[in-house]
Each structure stands twice: as structure tokens, then as C-alpha cells.
């Protein structure tokens, strides 16, 4: 990992517009698709951070300027509620929850990507990969990440950005 | 609107989204829904249904999928005489202008950007029906 790509307060991913784009992608998707309100908390830089959640989804970030990963982390209650509201019936199997958080994360990312690309980031399309948080594969550079916590249904979930 | 026995092909790599669309369509009175998990499986389903005399009437497809993208399925359908006039709706989280232009040039009937509410999807489907109905009358 080069020093130039390390996330710090001067890094472009700490730009307020970019953080706001990611936050808006999440808030709008949850409101429109499942009528759930979400609110964002203050973003922070994490070092050797481990998500305290149950379900995660990772997408590769590939652009002309940046390579890395964006990850969405959900508690089990939040993940289950979102999926049940999407399909209109109870979910029991973890595989159903994983599939559902994969899709909703794809929508989160799609909304943010459109905005970010309009700002010149040129992010490529990426297929979301859902997994249990404990099984999340290590990113190449995992020492420093940017975290944007969001509160939904009274619990804290996270958007995490890791750059190589 | 489309008749209740209209046969829809819903294509998405996420089972959750296929179920969500089935739920919305069910509320609209449409229950004849066949599913496929990617563009390639969808094209095989189109051929299979056509061969057995139970052809698909409308395709609702995601864009971003493994094996074959929704846009490539659209282009393949437009090149295939049996499927080229089928109404084709692309559902996507991608809303960049270059992609919308590609879809329109390729002959998409409607383009639905995720996130969408049930009402938004219903309105798009009504537009597809009106376009398709007008095109059928002209033909």
C-alpha cells in the first residue's frame, strides 16, 4: 500500500460530497424500497477495525484512480427486517438473508456510484458478494479504513471503504 | 393493462429481487411468472418456453448479473426473430447516462432505476403496455 493511497483526512474519499453520496445511496434505497428510515452518524477512520455486525457485503472498487473495496455491514435484526419487507414474508434461512443484503447493497452502491462517477471517479460496475461478517475475506490493505456508521431500526450498521 | 394470464420472465441473480417483483406483480393480479438467475439462463428459458408453445410475453431483467448481463440479453433478443418484438424492461441500480443511452439504442421498452417503489414499477409496466399495444395495432 502506498502512502499516497492511505486514507487520511486529506484523502479524496474523506470529501464531504463523496461521503454524502454514499449516505444518500443508503438512505434513499431503504426509504423507497422498504420504507425504513436511516440516519448517518459521524464518519471516522478505523485502524485494524473489525465490524461488530453479523452480515456483510463486499464490492470491489475499481476506478482509474482508486482500487479497493466497499463493504456494507448489517446486524442480524436489521438485515432480516430489510429482507422480510422486500419480499413480504418471513425469512428463516441465513442464505435468504445473505441474498437479500447482497441485493440491497447492490442498490446502495449503484446509487452512490452514479453520483460519484458524475464527479469524475469512473468507478466500474461490481458484483456484490454477501457473507457472514466473521467469514469476510481479508482485503489487501486492511489496516486503515474509512467508516460511515448509520442508524437503522435503532441499531448501528456501517459502510466501510478500504483502499489498496 | 396486460391480461392476468400474461407470462412474465423475471431475470435477476438475486432471489430476493425476483421474490420482491413477484410480490408486486401478484398484487397487480399477475401470477404467471417464470424466473431466471442470469441472462444466459433467461435466453434458454425463452427458447424452451417458445418451443413448448408457452411463449414468454414480457421480459423484466436486471442489468448487472454474472454470465450474461441484462443489456446483452436485450441485444440478443433483438437479434432473434422470435423474441425481437417482446416488451423488455431493464431494472438496474446503474443510472449513468451512457448506460441509459445504450439501453435505449438497443431497443429497451422501459428502464427502471433501483431503488424503486411498487408504485413506480406499476407505472412503468403500464407505460410498457401502452407502447406495446400501440405498436401491435400499427403492425
Q: Which position has the grid cell 438497443? A: B106
A133/A43 Cα distance (integer angstroms): 20
Radius of gyration of chain B (CA): 14
**Alpha-carbon gap: B27 to the closest alpha carbon of chain A (Å):** 11
Residue A46's pLDDT is 87
| pLDDT average, residue stretch B81-90 | 96
User: H-helix or E-strand containing B120?
Assistant: helix B118-138
Residue range A80-135, pLDDT digits in tens = 999 999 999 999 899 999 999 999 999 998 888 887 788 777 888 788 999 999 99
Q: What is the pLDDT of residue B21?
A: 95
Hey, are the CB atoms on A32 and B19 less than 8 Å from each other?
no
Q: pLDDT of B1-12, one tens digit each? A: 888 999 999 999
Residues of chain B in contact with residue A83, where contact means CB-CB under 8 angstroms, are 16
Q: Is B1 exposed, middle or buried (0-12, 13-18, 19+ CB in 10 A)?
A: middle
> What is A3-163's CATH number?
3.40.1550.10
List CB contacts (< 8 A) between A33 and chain B.
20, 114-117
Question: CA nearest B87: which of B102, B107, B116?
Answer: B107
Contact between chains at A96 and B64 (C-beta distance less than 8 A): no
Which of B36-40, B75-79, B135-139 is predicted least confidently?
A: B135-139
The confidence score (pLDDT) of residue A3 equals 37
Instruction: Inspect the interface and report whether the beta carbons of A87 and B16 lie closer than 8 Å.
Output: yes
The answer to whether the Cβ–Cβ distance between B19 and A86 falls below 8 Å is: yes
Band the pLDDT of A4: cuts 50, 70, 90: very low
pLDDT of residue B112: 93
Residue A141: pLDDT band (50, 70, 90) is low
Nearest residue in B to A97, CA atom? B16
Q: What is the pLDDT of residue A140?
A: 62
Q: Does the pLDDT at position B67 exceed 70?
A: yes
Lowest model confidence (mean pLDDT) among B24-28, B44-48, B82-86, B134-138 = B134-138
Q: Which residues contact B64 (CB under 8 A, 6 or more apart)?
A: A106, A110, A125, A127, B13, B70, B92, B93, B94
Alpha carbon A73 to its chain centroid, in Å, reads 6
Q: Which of A38, A85, A114, A72 is nearest to B92 (CA)?
A: A114
Most confidently predicted of A15-24, A66-75, B75-84, B85-94: B75-84
- pLDDT score, position A14: 63
Which residue in B12, B15, B16 has the most chain A C-beta atoms within 10 A of its own C-beta, making it the best mutation to test that interface?
B16
Contact assignment for B14 to A106 by CB distance below 8 Å: yes
pLDDT at A12: 58
Least CA distance to B22: which residue of chain A? A87
Average pLDDT over residues B93-120: 89
The answer, for B64 touching chain A at a CB cutoff of 8 Å, is yes
Ordered by start, the domain boundaries in chain A are: 3-163
Sign of CA pseudo-dihedral B88, B93, B99, B101: positive
CB–CB of A87 and B64 under 8 A? no
Whole-number pLDDT of residue A127: 86
* CATH homologous superfamily of B8-138: Response regulator (3.40.50.2300)
Classify burial at B96, counting beta carbons within 10 Å of its beta carbon; exposed 0-12, middle 13-18, buried 19 or more. Answer: middle
Contact B115 A103 (CB under 8 A): no
- CA B137 to centroid of chain Cα atoms: 21
Can the peptide bond before residue A126 be classed as cis, meaning omega within 30 degrees of 0?
A: no
Task: Please check the confidence at residue B130 and state whether its pLDDT lies above 70.
Answer: yes
Check if the beta carbon of residue A107 is closer than 8 Å to that of residue B92. Answer: no
pLDDT-derived band at A7, boundaries 50, 70, 90? very low
Average the pLDDT over B100-113 and give the result. 93
Amino acid at each position: 500500500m502506498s502512502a499516497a493511497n492511505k486514507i487520511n483526512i486529506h484523502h479524496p474519499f474523506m470529501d464531504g460530497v463523496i461521503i454524502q453520496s454514499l449516505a444518500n445511496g443508503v438512505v434513499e434505497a431503504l426509504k423507497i424500497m422498504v420504507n425504513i428510515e436511516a440516519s448517518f452518524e459521524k464518519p471516522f477512520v478505523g485502524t485494524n477495525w473489525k465490524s461488530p455486525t453479523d452480515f456483510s457485503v463486499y464490492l470491489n472498487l475499481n476506478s482509474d484512480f482508486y482500487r479497493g473495496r466497499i463493504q456494507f455491514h448489517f446486524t442480524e435484526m436489521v438485515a432480516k427486517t430489510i429482507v422480510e419487507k422486500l419480499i413480504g414474508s418471513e425469512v428463516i434461512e441465513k442464505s435468504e438473508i445473505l441474498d437479500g443484503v447482497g441485493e440491497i447493497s447492490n442498490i446502495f452502491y449503484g446509487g452512490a456510484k452514479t453520483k460519484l462517477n458524475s464527479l469524475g471517479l469512473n468507478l466500474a460496475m461490481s458484483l456484490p458478494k454477501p457473507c457472514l461478517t466473521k467469514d469476510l475475506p481479508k482485503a489487501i490493505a486492511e489496516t486503515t479504513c474509512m467508516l460511515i456508521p448509520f442508524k437503522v431500526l435503532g441499531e448501528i450498521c456501517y459502510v466501510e471503504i478500504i483502499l489498496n | 393493462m396486460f391480461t392476468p394470464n400474461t407470462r412474465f420472465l423475471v431475470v435477476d441473480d438475486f432471489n430476493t429481487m425476483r421474490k420482491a417483483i413477484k410480490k408486486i406483480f401478484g398484487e397487480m393480479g399477475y401470477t404467471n411468472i417464470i424466473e431466471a438467475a442470469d441472462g444466459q439462463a433467461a435466453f434458454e428459458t425463452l427458447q424452451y418456453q417458445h418451443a413448448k408453445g408457452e411463449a414468454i410475453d414480457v421480459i423484466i431483467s436486471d442489468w448487472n448479473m454474472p454470465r450474461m448481463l441484462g443489456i446483452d440479453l436485450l441485444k440478443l433478443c433483438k437479434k432473434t426473430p422470435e423474441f425481437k418484438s417482446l416488451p423488455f424492461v431493464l431494472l438496474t441500480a446503474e443510472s449513468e447516462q451512457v448506460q441509459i443511452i445504450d439501453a435505449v439504442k438497443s431497443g429497451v421498452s422501459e428502464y427502471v432505476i433501483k431503488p424503486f417503489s411498487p408504485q413506480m414499477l406499476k407505472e412503468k409496466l403500464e407505460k410498457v403496455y401502452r407502447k406495446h399495444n400501440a405498436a401491435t395495432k400499427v403492425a
